[in-house]
Structure formats: structure tokens, C-alpha cells
Amino acid sequence: MTEPHPPTNRDVKKALRLAALARRDALDPHTRIEAALVIAEAGAAAIAIKPGDVVSGFLPIRSEMDTRPLMAALAERGARLCVPAILDKTTIEFRELVRGAPMVDTGFGTVGPGADAAVLDPTVMLVPLAAFDARGHRIGYGAGHYDRAIARLHARRLFPRLVGIAFDCQEVEHVPDEPHDVPLSAILTDSGLRSFSL
């Protein structure tokens, strides 16, 4: 009889992802709205923005935190906004989000500006995630889009501040990390902003 194999990092991440997303899915609508307003207020006060900084946000899908109030608050402080568009299975680009621009299907269940929008390099990235730990490590949705986008920016010597966006219930004790994983600079939840020493 063969011994069972110990779970791989991938197995552990999948289990943590499913459990954290189930907790997020179970939140009631009132809690979600309140949390979105809390992160807008806390993030606007705590995320350093200079006029002209480029902030990549995201328009919520499924049970994600609604970042629109936060993005609006950062825009009021002079930030240019962009959101991801999924070009193929491996690549995303960040298209400028301007008031009144038509929205199109941008992949993975998302909508955003069309292909004629300006493509920007973020200086601050609001990063969606499934789970995170107290060290600033995150688990994404499994497709690796953000990991590759961050790696491409780093290859061009661009190092945006990475701010994870989540509900408190998505925190886990420990995210298995690998050498290529890039930890978050900070996490913004309904408890406020926590910065990590990197």
C-alpha cells in the first residue's frame, strides 16, 4: 500500500482559497456596503497619493469588496484611475477609467473601458484576492494574472505599491509562499489599512 502524498502548496492554496471565498460569499449585503464605505474612508486617508499618480483599481465581481467609493475618493485627490482588462489567458493591461467612457466585457466576468482607452502603468495597485495572511502574502483566484502583470512591471524597473483589498474574513493563518511570490505592501480591509515591512 502506498503512502498518501503530503499536500502540495497548490493543494493548500486551493483549500484556503475555497474556504476564504465561502466566508466572503456568506457576508450579508449590509455588511458589504458598510465595508466598502469604511475602506474608502480609511484608504483615502492612509494611501499616499500625489496628483497624477496612477491607481489601478478593479470593478467588483461576485462577492468582491466594492472599490468604487475608494477609487472615487483617490481620484478626488488627483489620482488617474485604471482597471484591468484581460487580453488572453496570460496577459492583462491596465486601461484608463474616465467618467462617461463606454464599458465593455474585459474578460473573467469583468467590465471596463474598451481597447481605445489609454493603457497606463500603475504606481499604486489595488489588488483583488481570495485570501491573505498577516505577513502580506496573498492567494489570488488561481489564474496568475496579477502575478504576471506585477512581474512584467518589475522587469521594466517599475515597482508599484501593492495594496490588497479584502474583507477581514478572508484572512488565513498562513499562505504558503514560493520564491517568485511578491508580498503586498499593505492590506486594506474593513478594519483599516495594515502596512507590511518588506
Other CB atoms within 10 A of residue 134 CB: 13
193 labelled binding-site residue: no
The average confidence (pLDDT) of the chain is 93
143 labelled binding-site residue: yes
Instruction: Please work out, in degrees rounded to the nearest 5, the angle formed at the alpha carbon of residue 137 by the alpha carbons of 124 and 133.
Output: 115
pLDDT given for residue 7 in this prediction = 82
Q: What is the pLDDT of residues 132-180, one digit of tens each?
A: 999 999 999 988 899 999 999 999 999 999 999 999 999 999 999 887 7
Q: How far is CA 2 from CA 12, 92, 104, in A?
A: 21, 43, 52
Domain count, the chain: 1
Mean pLDDT of 28-38: 96
142 labelled binding-site residue: yes
50 labelled binding-site residue: no
Residues in the chain: 198
36 labelled binding-site residue: no
Instruction: Give CA–CA dist 151/180, Å, rounded.
Output: 9
76 labelled binding-site residue: no
Residue range(s) defining the domain that contains residue 190: 9-195
CATH number at residue 180: 3.40.50.10420
* 42 domain residue, yes or no: yes
pTM exceeding 0.85? yes
* 2 domain residue, yes or no: no
Instruction: Give CA–CA dist 166/187, Å, rounded.
Output: 7
As beta bridge partners, residue 43 has: none
68 labelled binding-site residue: no
pLDDT band at 5 (very low <50, low <70, confident <90, very high): confident
DSSP 139: E
Q: What is the pLDDT of residues 51-96, one digit of tens each?
A: 999 999 999 999 999 999 999 999 999 999 999 998 887 889 999 9
* 1 domain residue, yes or no: no
139 labelled binding-site residue: yes
* 3 domain residue, yes or no: no
